[in-house]
Amino acid sequence: VVETEAPAEAVTAETSSITITNRDRVIFPEGKLTKGQLADYYAQVAPIMLPWIGSRPISLVRCPQGRAKKCFFQKHDAGSFGDAVRHVAIREKDGHDEPYLYVDTADGLLTCVQMGTIEFHGWGARIEDVERADRLVFDLDPDEGLDFENVRSAAFHFREILQSIGLETFPMVTGGKGVHVIAPLVPQAEWPEVKDFAHRLAQAVAQSDPEHFTAALPKAQRKGRIFVDYLRNQRGATAVMPYGVRAREGAPVAVPITWKEMETIDKPSHWTIRDGTELVKRAGSKALSGWGRADQTLPDL
């Protein structure tokens, strides 16, 4: 698996050439967290964020007036981002190419922040070959009212099932309500096959334990259950990137964790943009150093 090299030194907003304007603008009203703090967070985690995000097409959640005002999801460059945010041409369904975005430097991340970005979402494929998935993600979405204990056991359930068919997985708390269980793949299988695999696996889990799981799209069928959102595994679908900030109350971030940590973690929004230093330190730990890396391909199902 080709990894993008992380820069050797931590980048800070001070050493970046990107100017962040309106640093005092409050982006998260609850904690009075500002655009400057958001930029400093991304500068700090850039070295641990770039190895995963740096080689994928991304979508942005931009909230120029802060998370409580109007936000929008952006997939393509309208031509305003400048040089640090790079482009990859991707064929749309109707046959024409669109310039998708990717960022492979701290300056790229910070340019997006300067443009009002809070969230970074990425494809499950790399820019070198967007047709072949390099990860499966099982996005476990609890129905309202379910506590995290349910999500935790669901995550372990998926880990076991995937392990039993030969796939090693890595968990990530999303900063929101749920967890992503991620199986890295050597980019080989193309999207239709990957989607079909994820769909059949989700259905099998839902059928074997219908009290706790559903793979059904209609919201009414999710009552009291965990929805296995297998649709993250189709061409063009995205998932929030590791260490990406969420446009939710208190500025929580998505964080890769170990299965051991999954046993005890209190909630998926455990860390916030105030925890940049801790996150960088954690990421260097032995337990997390291999997170998201495994040479494996889609098994038969």
Which residues of the chain form contacts with Mn ion (CB under 5 A)? 139, 141, 178, 229
Q: Which is nearer to Mn ion, 81 or 227 (CB)?
A: 227
What is the torsion angle, in degrees rounded to the nearest 10, for the CA atoms of residue 184, residue 188, residue 191 and residue 196? -80
Between 85 and 228, name the residue whose CB sits nearer to ligand ATP: 228
Pairing of strands 129-133, 213-214: unpaired
Select from Mn ion, ligand ATP, none the partner in contact with residue 44, using the beta carbon and a kind-dependent cut-off of 5 to 8 Å: none
Rounded (10°) CA dihedral 290, 292, 297, 301? 120
In angstroms, give the least distance from the CB of 10 to ligand ATP: 26
| Least Å from the CB of residue 215 to Mn ion | 12
> Of Mn ion, ligand ATP, none, which one does residue 72 interact with (CB within 5 to 8 Å by kind)?
none
Q: Name the closest residue to Mn ion (Cβ).
A: 229
Cα-Cα-Cα-Cα dihedral sign, residues 174, 77, 18, 55? positive
Residue 112's binding partner among ligand ATP, Mn ion, none (Cβ under 5 to 8 angstroms by kind) is: none
Nearer to Mn ion, 229 or 275 (CB): 229
Residues that bind ligand ATP (CB under 6 A): 73, 121, 139, 141, 174, 176-178, 229, 232, 238-240, 268
Give the one entry of Mn ion, ligand ATP, none that residue 239 binds, where binding means its C-beta sits below a cut-off of 5 to 8 angstroms depending on kind.
Answer: ligand ATP
Rounded to whole angstroms, how far apart are CA atoms 193 and 301?
A: 11
Distances from the Cα of 222 to the Cαs of 214, 215, 226, 227, in angstroms? 6, 8, 7, 6
Name which of Mn ion, ligand ATP, none residue 107 binds, using a CB cut-off of 5 to 8 Å depending on partner kind. none
Residue with smaller CB distance to ligand ATP, 240 or 279 = 240
Long-range contacts of 276-285 (CB under 8 A, 24+ apart): 276/40, 276/41, 276/44, 276/45, 277/44, 279/45, 279/48, 279/243, 279/253, 279/255, 280/10, 280/44, 280/45, 280/47, 280/48, 283/48, 283/256
Decide whether 56 or 132 has the Cβ nearer to ligand ATP: 56
Nearer to ligand ATP, 11 or 240 (CB): 240
Q: Which residue is nearest to ligand ATP (CB)?
A: 176
